Structure 1
């Protein structure tokens, strides 16, 4: 893995946090003047800049982006990042460059077959290179790029870990299971048996983007121009990238086949186990 940069000192982050608040207000005026739709999570600015401040933005995302950029992956360049202790729902903001292109989901059907194959090939190359990185936290630890807790849309409360072993993570994911949520006593053991297929083998822990979705891939002139939203990046079991991307996806949707081809159909066997895990545990959490 490319060396992770050190986080800026707290006082520097606070300074940029104050500056970013003023930039947010300026963005409102700028968008109004230019007729651009304003968003308080992704604020558009002149000179090819964007200010991001959402509930998922963390310092870990900033450091993951900088590491990915050093590895040659097309991610925005982070100019600076700030901290907002008075805003616990969105404690970190980052000022970054705007990448060219459109979301893959917006343009996929208009691409030629050659362009579709090119995008698939380039994404597969980026993911393959990332998965070969060596973790500085040990080969079994499941954690963020910085060794801390990981954020994921597919776990209750969107955060978990870090875990020293895959078994620790499995225990956490299964913790809320229970018989009393089922009307039929046969439902629980049936679901549990399906889930066991996911956990019965140990898996390699590899570096993972964690939110592989078509709206996080940018395409420009038939090539991948951006791979964005690194808030979930970290070290996960090898199946995680692809099974997470397939959750709730209909099989007749182009993205379903795209992800299968990205993974060489290797983790399709876990799809049913993933759905069973969701059914087994989701009622116990406030998502």
Structure 2
């Protein structure tokens, strides 16, 4: 997806409208209401918009329509559709509604997993750039799945003689040598990125971490996203391809090194 560079009168008008939006209609972190049908989100690169366009073309997952990307004062502004979803508060959903949402979410994840990667076996964003995981808060360099694991610290923990890491080593030995396909993942499917209306998912937001990851990645990320709602995590299980060994290794990695749990 291309970007628009503002010049002349349009830049001055856009700047005036933006300043008004920033002052009067904030609706979230880096997100501002422009008018009745549009919101603006500041993004670091156009990659998020590219991911949204790719998923919208190839799945039935509900995603806000992207109107344009504007580069303004050294930053990117993603202009997209405003979705009205008053049932965003998960605490108000009934048990039956949460079960229905879990099933819908599982179906959408299956659609993402069915997408065909342009470079099988390579961990990367939709545009070939490095992915960024929201929990690790670090860029994950483009490379093979093996290199991805090495970058995370799998080899470091597994092969270390550090006594404190001894309990973690069996977790990594168990998955050592396994081969993984790369599949498209959202990588941050927490409740605040899923908009619900009348018991249906009407939008999935925040695709900034999306990309081609090892096939288990969505599952292990989901476990982190739903740590505060273990009942919903349980509801999701029948609708997911589960990776218990990889999840155990991921949790061990968190305890040993990264501390994101």
1:173 is aligned to 2:152: yes
CA contact (8 A) 1:176 1:281 kept: no
CA contact (8 A) 1:147 1:162 kept: yes
CA distance in 2, matches of 1:85, 1:232: 24
RMSD: 3.1
CA distance in 2, matches of 1:98, 1:228: 11
Residue 58 (structure 1) aligns with: 45
Distance of aligned partners of 1:97 and 1:201 in 2 relative to their CA distance in 1, 3 Å threshold? same
5+ residue gaps, structure 1, are 1-6, 32-36
- Out of 191, 194, 205, the residue aligned to residue 217 of structure 1 is 194
CA distance in 2, matches of 1:175, 1:19: 52
Shift of 1:117: 3.3
CA contact (8 A) 2:69 2:77 kept: yes
Q: Name whichever structure is richer in strand by fraction.
A: 2
* 1:166-245 to 2 correspondences below 5 Å: 166-174=145-153, 177=156, 185-245=162-222
Shift of 1:20: 5.6
**Structure 1 length normalisation: TM-score?**
0.77
CA distance in 2, matches of 1:94, 1:158: 22
Residue 48 (structure 1) aligns with: 37
CA contact (8 A) 1:151 1:159 kept: yes
Shift of 1:170: 0.9
The number of residues matched between the two structures is 256
CA distance in 2, matches of 1:112, 1:39: 27
| Alignment deviations for residues 184-225 of structure 1 (CA, whole Å, 9 cap, x no partner) | 942223323323434441112111111111111111111110
Residue 21 (structure 2) aligns with: 27
| Alignment deviations for residues 2-38 of structure 1 (CA, whole Å, 9 cap, x no partner) | xxxxx325xx24558876644331114433xxxxx55
SS at match of 2:179: coil
CA distance in 1, matches of 2:205, 2:60: 13
| Alignment deviations for residues 133-174 of structure 1 (CA, whole Å, 9 cap, x no partner) | 1112x211110011111111233x4211211x2111111111
Higher mean Cα deviation, 76-85 or 245-254? 245-254
1:77 is aligned to 2:103: no
CA distance in 1, matches of 2:92, 2:231: 9
* 1:1-287 to 2 correspondences below 5 Å: 7-8=1-2, 12-13=4-5, 21-31=15-25, 39=28, 41-54=30-43, 57-70=44-57, 71-84=59-72, 86=74, 91-102=75-86, 104=88, 106-107=89-90, 109-111=92-94, 113=96, 115-136=97-118, 138-155=119-136, 157-163=137-143, 165-174=144-153, 177=156, 185-247=162-224, 249-250=226-227, 253-264=230-241, 266-282=242-258
CA distance in 2, matches of 1:253, 1:65: 28
Distance of aligned partners of 1:112 and 1:281 in 2 relative to their CA distance in 1, 3 Å threshold? closer
CA distance in 2, matches of 1:131, 1:67: 13
CA distance in 2, matches of 1:174, 1:246: 19
**Structure 2 length normalisation: TM-score?**
0.84
